[in-house]
Amino acid sequence: MATELQLVGAGLAAIGTGAAAIGVGIIFGNFVNGALRNPSAAAGQFTNAIIGAALAEGLGIFAFLIAILLYLK
C-alpha cells in the first residue's frame, strides 16, 4: 500500500513526537531547577511552564498526525 518513501516520510515526521517529549522534559527540568533556586518565584513561573509544555505537546501531536497521514496516504 504505502511506498517506501511514504514510510520514510512518516518515520521522519514521527521524530517530532520524541522531540516534543524531550522539550517537555527540558521545560519542567528547568522549572524545577529555578524553583529550587528561588522558591518565592516558583508560583509565578508555573503558568509559563504549563503554557510551554502545552505548546510543545501540541507540536508533538501535530507531528504524530502528519506521520499518520503520510503513512495512510
Mean pLDDT, contiguous 10-residue spans, the chain (73 residues): 83 91 95 95 93 94 92 84
Q: What is the extent of the structural domain holding 46? A: 4-72
Q: Residue 43: which CATH number?
A: 1.20.20.10
Look at the chain and report how many structural domains it folds into: 1
pLDDT of the residue at 70 = 87
The CB-based long-range contact list for 11-16 (8 Å cut-off, 24+ gap) reads 11/67, 13/63, 13/64, 13/66, 13/67, 13/70, 14/63, 14/64, 14/67, 15/63, 16/59, 16/60, 16/62, 16/63, 16/64, 16/66, 16/67
pLDDT of the residue at 71 = 87
